Amino acid sequence: MKLIIAIVQDEDSSRLLTGLMNKGLGVTKLATTGGFLKAGNTTLLIGVEDERVSEAVETIEQICKSRKQLTTAHTNATGVSASGYMPFPVEVTVGGATLFVLNVEQFLKV
């Protein structure tokens, strides 16, 4: 068995949850925050049998879109960058999804 940890954008999370549930896959949704943008995202924990990992990954690929977001990263509390210059917006591409696939040693429900 594997545990897929999928970090996705909030905008995709509801459709992804439905898509996975419709395939009979077990999923848990966590509200999380990305370290770089410091904005909300969604982390899904998906426990799957080894032979269904690719099906789960394909579902995630189909539903999760990449989007461009603007950020003014690396500023201090005054809004001025560490180098002393005013911050300027930087465009980053977020998603579709960041996935970690881990081996599960034991899956228990007690």
Query: Which span sits near ligand 2BA by CB under 6 A: 44-52, 75-83, 88-96, 102-110?
Result: 88-96
Question: Between 100 and 107, whose beta carbon lies closer to ligand 2BA?
Answer: 100
Q: Please check whether residue 18 is in contact with residue 3, taking contact to mean a CB–CB distance below 8 angstroms.
A: no
Quick check: 35 binds ligand 2BA (CB under 6 A)?
Answer: yes
Residue environment code for 26-57, b if the CB has 16+ CB neighbours within 10 A, otherwise e: ebeeeeeeeeeeeeebbbbebebeeebbeebb
Q: Mask: binding to ligand 2BA, 15-34, rule CB under 6 A, as x and -?
A: -------------------x
Quick check: 94 binds ligand 2BA (CB under 6 A)?
Answer: yes
